[in-house]
Amino acid sequence: MIRIIEGAFDPRPFYEDFIENYEFVRKMQSNSDDNHEIRTWGKPLLYRPHGIEPKENIEEGWKPIWDIIKPQIQAFTGHVKEPEVAYINLFQHGDNSQIHRDWADYTAICYMNPNWNFNLGGETMFYRGEECIKCVLPIGGNVVVFNGDIDHKAGFVSSLAQEGRMGLTYMFNKV
């Protein structure tokens, strides 16, 4: 199952909040020459895989959007548990990820950039074997929900992008 929820939330206030109030997001988008800076695509906001107590829980970062999208997700999945993992990622020009699977029953990716368009890339691509079976544009306010055992990856971000492609990802299980 791969399902897109169009216009699930207004990305503007959340995007601005992440950029302005979370230092680690600013560092993810930094192009500084600071040798001590760790370059990363993602930062956990909540991390409690398999019921382990959270190592990270920046609830004000992940909970408001989850509260908006959870009823929309449950409309087609049935009841789901609270997420075990929530993380924010930022892909810059030239970044992409490897094809992988997630370990939870479901994954939801919330696209955060309010002004993203098809020329900027950063699509989420889904695979069956060697074949790309679906390609989802990261349009701000949309959410893609899918079974965690589906192969997927984030595609290349274009040099036209003035900002990184931001996604807020949740991994969660059935009740």
Q: Is residue 36 part of a domain?
A: no
Measured CA angle at 3 (ends 55, 147), to 5 deg: 50
| Residue 48 within any structural domain of the chain | yes
pLDDT digits (tens, 9 = 90+) for 105-141: 999 999 999 999 999 999 999 999 999 999 999 999 9
Which tens digit of pLDDT belongs to each residue from 142-154?
A: 999 999 999 999 9
- Concatenating the DSSP letter of every residue in 108-137 gives EEEE--TT--GGGB--EEEEETTEEEEEE-
Q: What is the mean pLDDT of residues 60-89?
A: 92
Q: What is the pTM of this model?
A: 0.88
Query: Which range marks the domain in which residue 117 is found?
Result: 2-30+41-172
In this structure, is residue 142 part of a structural domain?
yes
Indicate whether 58 belongs to any domain: yes
**Average of per-residue pLDDT values in the chain:** 85
At 105, which CATH number?
Answer: 2.60.120.620
Question: How many structural domains are present in the chain?
Answer: 1
User: Does residue 131 form part of some domain?
Assistant: yes
Any residues with CB less than 8 A from the CB of 1 and at least 6 apart, and which?
77, 145, 146, 147
**Sign of the CA dihedral 95, 138, 169, 124?**
negative
**Does any domain span residue 35?**
no
